[in-house]
Amino acid sequence: MNPPRQPVAKPTPIASVSEAERAIANLNTIMDRLVETVEQETAQVRAGKLHDAVQNDGAKVELARAYAAESERVKAAQDIVAKSLPDALKRLRRRHDAFRTLLQTNLTVLATAHAVSEGIIRGVSGELARKQMPSTYGATGRANTPGSKTSQPLAISKSL
């Protein structure tokens, strides 16, 4: 059961150049940690260490929440940032594009792991159904294959 989520306080708007600099620096720090977490998760899933990858899920969610909040704060002050810190804004946009590419890679790896594990489960389930069905021949002389209604439920232990 997930703990109840705390209400998110509305971030204070950026009113000065120095606040914008601090917000961008904070956003870069959050992005550094988020990139590190996503890269670590991607590497762990690729290596088949799914249990280890899940361990960072809470941190990833909190970092993503902080990233979204700080991004919205900077976006709301885009006029100040664009006029006063155009180079910082360009770097931030390039960094955001690179981060988007990293996230796409991460999602591809996660989708692949999901598809592979689903294929394994379906294969095991089909094999169990085949072994439990009596070996008989149909009217055409071919062996009968198990139907979808003859398969038994499959229980999986997640605590391996």
| b/e sequence 67-98, b meaning 16+ C-beta within 10 Å | beebbebbeebeebbeeebeebbeebeeeeee
> pLDDT tens digits, residue range 23-46?
999 999 999 999 999 999 999 999
Which of 62-66, 116-120, 156-160 is least confident?
156-160
Which residue ranges make up each domain of the chain? 17-125
Reduced to 3 states (helix: H, G, I; strand: E, B; else coil), residue 82 is helix
For the whole model, what pTM was predicted? Answer: 0.70
Closest C-alpha to 160, from 117, 126, 122:
117
| Mean pLDDT to the nearest integer, 96-125 | 90
Q: Is the pLDDT score of 6 beyond 60?
A: no
| b/e sequence 111-149, b meaning 16+ C-beta within 10 Å | eeeeeeeeeeeeeeeeeebeeeeeeeeeeeeeeeebeee
| Sign of the dihedral defined by the CA atoms of residues 36, 39, 44, 47, in that order | negative
pLDDT attached to residue 92: 92
For residue 23, count CB atoms less than 10 angstroms from its CB and return exposed for 0-12, middle for 13-18, buried for 19 or more: buried
Q: Which residues pair with 137 in a beta bridge?
A: 143
